[in-house]
Amino acid sequence: MSDATTGYRAALTVPRAKTVLGLGIASRLPSGLLPFTTLIVFTQRHNIAIAGLASAALLLTIAIPGPARARWCARRGPAAIGLLALASAALFTAAAFTLSVDIWQIPLALIAAAGALFPPLTPNLRAVWSRLMPDKQRLQSIHALDSTVEELTFVVTPLLATAAMAVTNARWVLIASALLLLPAAVGLSKILTDLPAIEKGQEPPGRAEHTKQRSIIRTRAGRGITVPVIALGLCGGGLTIIIPAATVEFADVISSGYGFAAFSLGGLVGGLAYGRVKWAAALRVRYVAATVSLMVGALLLAAAAASPLSILAVFCVGLPMTPIFVIAYLLVDEYVDPSRHPEANAWLGSGYNLGSATGSAAGGQLLALAGPRGLAVTLAGISFVATLIAHRLPRTATTIESVTAFAAEQDEDADGQASRT
């Protein structure tokens, strides 16, 4: 076991590490502010039902084309990130000004368009870490630290937005939040421009042409890395339904806030604990173990759903959250071409967000049929399936990103063939 302080300090001594960490905070501020502010401005101008539509439209248009946007920016270079940021900020601003009209469909369409052009800031920042830190222990430490900072950022952003809206019109807060995309994109573009040789030098000859034509999710590695994160999103979305329903069994529904806090706290504790250990087990084994932990947490929640112990069970569900993300980012570094890291990282973010939205929507229906315990058992079953898929990750990274059409076909073969080196 490594000393946590020493591990994090060692990672931060790498040139530009502190700059990238600060840039990560700057890029996540608009990501946290814009969805919350959108919900508020539509509620103020129209009603909560239309606000819900606008919020869903924004989140879905950010998530669904996310990998395609990241792939497009990777092909066109750092300037493409700035172009998307400018277009997205302009559309958010236009939506804010059109909120004064009675036809709510106009600002909603503009919000959706702004989400569709949202720049892939976080996926590219995650890819930068792999290029700055070839040392795997430092890379693990910085991913754990970055994920912890990310969690804290999304806790702070609603508070910042609330404070800003207390002193000015919410539409101006929406515009200001959108404009924050621009300095974050400029900073990221500068970092990426300073590191072109690293990206080009690591890409094996003949690989780029093939991999550009093939989606990450179509590879065995892509599915093995992404599906556990989708399962994590489904569990997170399901918890938004389970926690209030379970809380009313032993307390007032207002107390469900303690459950949500326990889930986030579990993620923070799990991330910090994971980052301080120098692991001997392979990444693939760690990923399977973390996904099994998610399943165990869901089963504990099923057992304790009607008692105050459900808060402790929710904490246990949250424990593997940050480790799953950290290991997934490390697996991307190990299995995927450097030129495709932003796209792979975008799949992780989109997979979690889509899983969370699906878990929340479907969870309400399942809750009505089977109750909190039945929903928790279902989430445990989903986590078990994700564990099996993670287990199918090949034991060596050399079999994952193929360089010929023949290798691409082999990637879809039976498990025994696909795991050969």
The Cα 17–Cα 19 span in angstroms is 5
Say which residue the tokens 């084309």 belong to: 65
Q: Give the pLDDT band of residue 332 (cuts 50, 70, 90).
A: very high
Complete domains list, the chain, with CATH: 1-202 (1.20.1250.20), 204-421 (1.20.1250.20)
Secondary structure letter of residue 2 according to DSSP? -
Amino acid 397: pLDDT: 61
pLDDT in tens, 351-378: 998 998 888 888 888 888 888 999 999 9
Report whether 377 contacts 313 (CB < 8 A): no
pLDDT at 265 over 50: yes
pLDDT at 201 over 50: no
Of the listed ranges 133-142, 189-198, 229-238, 402-411, the least confidently predicted one is 402-411
Say which residue the tokens 């990130």 belong to: 81
pLDDT at 400 over 60: no
Q: The tokens of 375 are what?
A: 């929903």
Average pLDDT over residues 107-123: 94
Amino acid 46: pLDDT: 86
Average pLDDT over residues 316-338: 92
Amino acid 385: pLDDT: 97
Q: Give the pLDDT band of residue 74 (cuts 50, 70, 90).
A: confident
Amino acid 65: pLDDT: 92
Q: Is the dihedral of CA 330, 331, 332, 336 positive or negative?
A: positive
Q: Which residues of 38-64 are buried (b: 16+ CB within 10 A; e: fewer)?
A: bbbbbbebbeeebbebbbebbbbbbbe
pLDDT in tens, 12-65: 888 888 888 889 899 999 988 998 888 888 888 888 788 878 888 898 899 899
pLDDT at 215 over 70: yes
pLDDT at 72 over 50: yes
How crowded is the C-beta side of 233, counted as CA atoms within 13 Å? 20
pLDDT at 132 over 70: yes
pLDDT at 410 over 50: no
| Separation in Å, CA 241 to CA 229, 305, 365 | 19, 12, 10
Amino acid 50: pLDDT: 85
The Cα 56–Cα 364 span in angstroms is 16
Secondary structure letter of residue 204 according to DSSP? P
Q: Which strand (E) or helix (H) includes residue 309?
A: none
Largest CA distance in the chain: 63
* Helix, strand, coil percent content, the chain, rounded in steps of 5: 80, 0, 20
Q: Give the pLDDT band of residue 404 (cuts 50, 70, 90).
A: very low
What are the φ and ψ backbone dihedral angles of 101, each rounded to 5 degrees? -80, 160
pLDDT in tens, 160-174: 888 898 899 989 999
The Cα 147–Cα 245 span in angstroms is 29
| Separation in Å, CA 399 to CA 213, 300, 415, 420 | 18, 37, 12, 7
pLDDT at 93 over 90: yes
Q: Give the pLDDT band of residue 328 (cuts 50, 70, 90).
A: very high
Q: The tokens of 164 are what?
A: 């800003």
pLDDT at 2 over 90: no
pLDDT in tens, 238-262: 898 888 888 887 777 677 778 888 8
pLDDT at 286 over 70: yes
Q: Give the pLDDT band of residue 275 (cuts 50, 70, 90).
A: confident
End-to-end CA distance of the chain: 31
Amino acid 68: pLDDT: 92
Amino acid 419: pLDDT: 36
**Whether the predicted model's global pTM rises above the 0.85 cut:** no
Of the listed ranges 124-133, 155-164, 185-194, 396-405, the least confidently predicted one is 396-405
Say which residue the tokens 């991913």 belong to: 143
Mean pLDDT score of the chain = 83
Average pLDDT over residues 301-314: 90
Amino acid 255: pLDDT: 74
Name which of 313, 292, 350 is nearest 238 in CA terms: 313
| Separation in Å, CA 282 to CA 56, 142, 212, 340, 393 | 38, 18, 28, 22, 11
Amino acid 196: pLDDT: 53
Q: The tokens of 176 are what?
A: 């200001």
The Cα 83–Cα 78 span in angstroms is 9
